[in-house]
Amino acid sequence: MADFLQQLNESQREAVIYNDGPSLVIAGAGSGKTRVITYKIAYLLKNGISPHSILALTFTNKAAREMKVRVTEIIGENMTRLLWIGTFHSIFSKILRREASRIGFYSDFTIYDKQDSKNLIKNIIKEKKLDDKIYKPTFVQNIISKAKNALITPKQYANNCDLIEQYNQAQKAYILYDIYLTYSNRCKIANAMDFDDLLFYTYLLFNECKEIAQKYWNRFQFILVDEYQDTNFAQHEIIQQLTIEQHHRICIVGDDAQSIYSFRGANISNILNFRSIYPESKLFKLEQNYRSTQTIVNAANSLISKNREQIPKTIYSQKAIGEKIRLTGFYSDYEEGSRVANCIAEMHMLKKYEYKDFVILYRTNAQSRIFEEALRKLNIPYKIYGGLSFYQRKEIKDVVAYMRLASNLADEEAIRRIINYPNRGIGDITVNKIIAAASFHNTILWEVLSNPLSYNLKINAATFEKLKKFQLLINRFVEKVSTQNAYNAGRMIIRETGLINNELYEDQTPENISRIQNLEELSNSLYTFVSSRIEEGNANIKISDFLAEIFLLTDQDTDKNENINFVTMMTIHSAKGLEFKNVFVVGLEEGLFPSELSKQNLQEIEEERRLFYVAITRAKENVILTYAKNRFQNGQFHDRLPSRFIKDIDEQYLSLPSKSHVCTNSGGGGSFKESSLINHQNNQSNIGDLRIGNKIRHKRFGDGRIVALIGKNDNAQATVEFEQVGIKQLLLKFARIEMI
């Protein structure tokens, strides 16, 4: 037996070496599903299968990268260079670039991100003079996205009874169809695809060009898919297109208990139907969890058993029994933040955990701020995933829009973004004239703005000159982009857009300095991109190659500091597949987790419960659950009840530490004296009914004692020493306190 196969247990090994037909591995969290896929790739390569004929699909780029690294460790670099491991979106965009002409696109098509696509929808609604209160752009965007993920073309949409019935208004449905159709045409004219198109057009490509489908099913002799429970209809159909008609060598792995993306169209029945689509498929079960302590695995099992809809399965751990799951409620969200931060500091100091051993998981991104502040106060390094990715920052998007336009002159959203940025005096009226003419003549904006006379554009001589100048600038970029490598062309574009000179350098505020640094970072990233490609043997690396890569990156993917020690903060959704020694799951409150919206029906509650299951099962050693009794949300305090999910965990696995101590055996925390912070000058003995020494209660900070009072009327302030959060200065006009 090859050495590396010994790093698997028997069931994993069986799953790895079975490659004669379709197979599926359904197993609980941490049981080695991803490991099976990784080792299967290594096994196939070892057995002489060409890397060219293997396709592995993962849920994130990060997971793809890690898989490739692991396979390389096992099998050596030569074999893995040609492997296709990536997300559905990145692999399909690669295929689409190669075959673009077959479906009416050019290979350097732009990928519109969510914002580009929303802007275009907004503009279409405006151009059609529709009421944007009835046809809200986000709503329309969702409808279009749903239709595409269900593989419904605009034409089919018009005839689709289900969708029309849903809105119960034929006229509204017709208008939605009309927007969808216009949107599709406009994207096509702009040689642009949105994220959903990457699936939609791949499906159409394989459906309409049988010889292309054949080419890829001949090529990919082995297809492996991780996290299959979260595939949507389009992804599921494409996988079938690639396998069903000829060979059935497909291996999918997943866990129905971790299906958490139904809001994005993922359909758990895909995994359940697999066996009826591939009746000869072999099912493998993995039962041992290698990630977590026995207590964590048992607690997670007890939680998920409360869901009615699930495939029964066993999962156990042979690791240490481990500590109980700790549960703590706090007076307020603020206190929750500072206590969690204290606990991390304590575990770091006393138990010698590194910062990278901690993750704070929350239901919604908005919860991160309080933890961020608390960690910053204690000088604990952290990183928040889910903020704006590097390539989504404004200054980067601006420069990238120039690069996009230079590589694809049809890119409508890029033109709109930069035609007057930085300001070159081309106003909205002119831009609207260009758009109207382009729409009338069914051509691209660039064509009209480069030939205003031929299109009878009613503009004055000054505007004509301004358009000419813009055109010359872009033409210079086009020339560079086609003759120079990505780094040289990119640097020239960054320099010559005029953005740095006109806007950013003008004012040396910290924000501007950081923007300039970001632009420098963009230039570094171009350099790294080009040099790594050259190392791989590709000499001629163009800006369009760089763009193709960055369009699909998220902030998790752009993180270069993977080895640096910091606490991670992220939503539970983005923690899928990852593992950490210590996991904090925070904000476990009714209305937040489960979220208010999902409390309506059983299916949604079950999905939230699965989300909680995903959260707990990320932990190797410790799980710490917290909730607050008061939370500041949407401008006001709300009383909160602990989440119903807490009761779903069998009590024997839970411990309830003494009041407000998150860390067991700690005794730490407690209010620390900050008397030097108190300003005793101008101290008064009372303001109104308040006196020094009074005990008060504050909605957010809890109970405390007034230690100083200063100021008058609107400026009256109380300094309060709170039991839980220490000293705070409160402006009485706003502070909502009550005497106790």
Which residues of the chain form contacts with Mg ion (CB under 5 A)? 33-34, 577
30 known member of a binding site: yes
Helix axes 394-407, 510-535, angle to 10 degrees: 40
Residue with tokens 């760089």: 546
- Tell me whether residue 34 is one of the annotated catalytic residues: yes
Per CB under 6 A, the segment of 25-33, 131-139, 147-155, 707-715 that binds ligand ATP is 25-33
Q: CA angle at residue 31 from 30 to 34, to 5 degrees?
A: 80
575 within 8 A of 358, measured Cβ to Cβ: no
Per CB under 6 A, the segment of 3-11, 47-55, 106-114, 200-208 that binds ligand ATP is 3-11
The answer to whether residue 35 forms part of the interface with ligand ATP (CB under 6 A) is yes
667 known member of a binding site: no
- Sign, CA dihedral 336-338-340-342, equals negative
Please tell me the count of residues contacting ligand ATP according to CB under 6 A.
18
Q: Which residues contact 58 (CB under 8 A, 6 or more apart)?
A: 64, 67, 85, 86, 87, 226, 227
C-beta closer to Mg ion: residue 148 or 618: 618
Per CB under 6 A, the segment of 33-41, 459-467, 584-592, 686-694 that binds ligand ATP is 33-41
The answer to whether residue 12 forms part of the interface with ligand ATP (CB under 6 A) is yes
48 known member of a binding site: no
| Residue span 266-305 as binding mask against ligand ATP, x where in contact by CB under 6 A, dash where not | ------------------------xx--------------
Query: Cβ of 142: how many Cβ atoms within 10 Å?
Result: 11
Instruction: At 408, list the tokens.
Output: 């694809």
657 preceded by a cis bond (ω within 30 of 0): no
C-beta closer to Mg ion: residue 33 or 533: 33
Alpha carbons 630 and 274: distance in angstroms, whole number: 46
Helix (H/G/I), strand (E/B), else coil: 97: helix
76 known member of a binding site: no
C-beta closer to ligand ATP: residue 447 or 579: 579
C-beta closer to ligand ATP: residue 14 or 113: 14
Helix (H/G/I), strand (E/B), else coil: 476: helix
121 within 8 A of 181, measured Cβ to Cβ: no
Instruction: At 80, list the tokens.
Output: 């893995």
Alpha carbons 5 and 13: distance in angstroms, whole number: 7
Helix (H/G/I), strand (E/B), else coil: 326: strand
- Tell me whether residue 346 is one of the annotated catalytic residues: no
Q: Which residues contact 714 (CB under 8 A, 6 or more apart)?
A: 733
The least distance separating ligand ATP from the CB of residue 289, rounded to whole angstroms, comes to 7
The least distance separating ligand ATP from the CB of residue 132, rounded to whole angstroms, comes to 41
- For residue 400, report the phi and psi dihedrals to the nearest 5 degrees: -65, -30
C-beta closer to ligand ATP: residue 287 or 511: 287
Per CB under 6 A, the segment of 23-31, 367-375, 435-443, 724-732 that binds ligand ATP is 23-31
C-beta closer to ligand ATP: residue 7 or 305: 7
The least distance separating Mg ion from the CB of residue 32, rounded to whole angstroms, comes to 8
The least distance separating ligand ATP from the CB of residue 270, rounded to whole angstroms, comes to 17
C-beta closer to Mg ion: residue 253 or 325: 253
The answer to whether residue 261 forms part of the interface with ligand ATP (CB under 6 A) is no
Q: Which of 11, 15, 23, 34 binds ligand ATP (CB under 6 A)?
A: 34
Q: Which of 255, 346, 555, 606 binds ligand ATP (CB under 6 A)?
A: 255
Per CB under 6 A, the segment of 4-12, 343-351, 674-682, 717-725 that binds ligand ATP is 4-12
The answer to whether residue 32 forms part of the interface with ligand ATP (CB under 6 A) is yes
Q: Please pick, among 258, 288, 556, 724, the residue that the annotation labels catalytic.
A: 258
Q: Which residues contact 99 (CB under 8 A, 6 or more apart)?
A: 205, 209, 212
The answer to whether residue 317 forms part of the interface with ligand ATP (CB under 6 A) is no
Helix (H/G/I), strand (E/B), else coil: 690: strand
Alpha carbons 710 and 234: distance in angstroms, whole number: 65
C-beta closer to ligand ATP: residue 12 or 117: 12
Alpha carbons 374 and 133: distance in angstroms, whole number: 40
Considering only residues 616 through 645, tell me which ones interact with ligand ATP, judged by CB under 6 A: 617
Considering only residues 574 through 603, tell me which ones interact with ligand ATP, judged by CB under 6 A: 577, 579
Residue with tokens 């009840």: 641
C-beta closer to ligand ATP: residue 229 or 554: 229
Give the strand pairing for 192-194 and 110-112. parallel
Q: Which amino acid is at 592?
A: L
Q: Please pick, among 35, 618, 620, 629, the residue that the annotation labels catalytic.
A: 618
C-beta closer to Mg ion: residue 33 or 466: 33
Per CB under 6 A, the segment of 7-15, 203-211, 331-339, 417-425 that binds ligand ATP is 7-15
- Tell me whether residue 258 is one of the annotated catalytic residues: yes
- Tell me whether residue 533 is one of the annotated catalytic residues: no
Buried b / exposed e along 439-474 (16+ C-beta atoms within 10 A)? beeeebbbbbbbebeebebebeeebeebbeebeebb
- Tell me whether residue 146 is one of the annotated catalytic residues: no
The answer to whether residue 30 forms part of the interface with ligand ATP (CB under 6 A) is yes
Considering only residues 354 through 383, tell me which ones interact with ligand ATP, judged by CB under 6 A: none
725 within 8 A of 702, measured Cβ to Cβ: yes
The least distance separating Mg ion from the CB of residue 226, rounded to whole angstroms, comes to 6
Q: Which of 11, 24, 26, 33 binds ligand ATP (CB under 6 A)?
A: 33
The answer to whether residue 68 forms part of the interface with ligand ATP (CB under 6 A) is no
Query: Cβ of 629: how many Cβ atoms within 10 Å?
Result: 19
Q: Which of 15, 16, 24, 29 binds ligand ATP (CB under 6 A)?
A: 29
The least distance separating Mg ion from the CB of residue 41, rounded to whole angstroms, comes to 14
Which residues lie across from 626 on neighbouring strands? 328
Q: Please pick, among 226, 549, 606, 608, the residue that the annotation labels catalytic.
A: 226
645 within 8 A of 314, measured Cβ to Cβ: no
Write the DSSP symbol of residue 340.
H
86 known member of a binding site: no
The least distance separating ligand ATP from the CB of residue 576, rounded to whole angstroms, comes to 7
33 known member of a binding site: yes
Helix axes 394-407, 461-483, angle to 10 degrees: 80
- For residue 696, report the phi and psi dihedrals to the nearest 5 degrees: -130, 165
- Tell me whether residue 542 is one of the annotated catalytic residues: no
The answer to whether residue 8 forms part of the interface with ligand ATP (CB under 6 A) is yes
443 known member of a binding site: no
626 within 8 A of 585, measured Cβ to Cβ: yes
Helix axes 510-535, 486-496, angle to 10 degrees: 160
Binding partner selected for residue 154 from Mg ion, ligand ATP, none, CB under the kind-specific 5 to 8 Å limit: none
The answer to whether residue 19 forms part of the interface with ligand ATP (CB under 6 A) is no
Q: Which of 9, 19, 153, 729 binds ligand ATP (CB under 6 A)?
A: 9
Q: Which stretches does DSSP call E strand in 222-281? A: 222-225, 250-254
Q: Of 320, 311, 305, 318, whose CA–CA distance to 285 is shortest?
A: 311
The DSSP secondary structure of 626-668, one letter per residue, reads EEEEEEEETTEEEE--B-HHHHHS-GGGEE--STT--STT---
C-beta closer to ligand ATP: residue 568 or 617: 617
31 known member of a binding site: yes
Q: Please pick, among 197, 227, 237, 608, the residue that the annotation labels catalytic.
A: 227
Instruction: At 432, list the tokens.
Output: 């609207």
Interface residues with ligand ATP (CB under 6 A) are 7-9, 12, 29-35, 255, 258, 290-291, 577, 579, 617
- Per the annotation, binding residues are 27-34
Residues identified as active-site: 33-34, 226-227, 258, 618
- Per the annotation, binding residues for ATP are 27-34
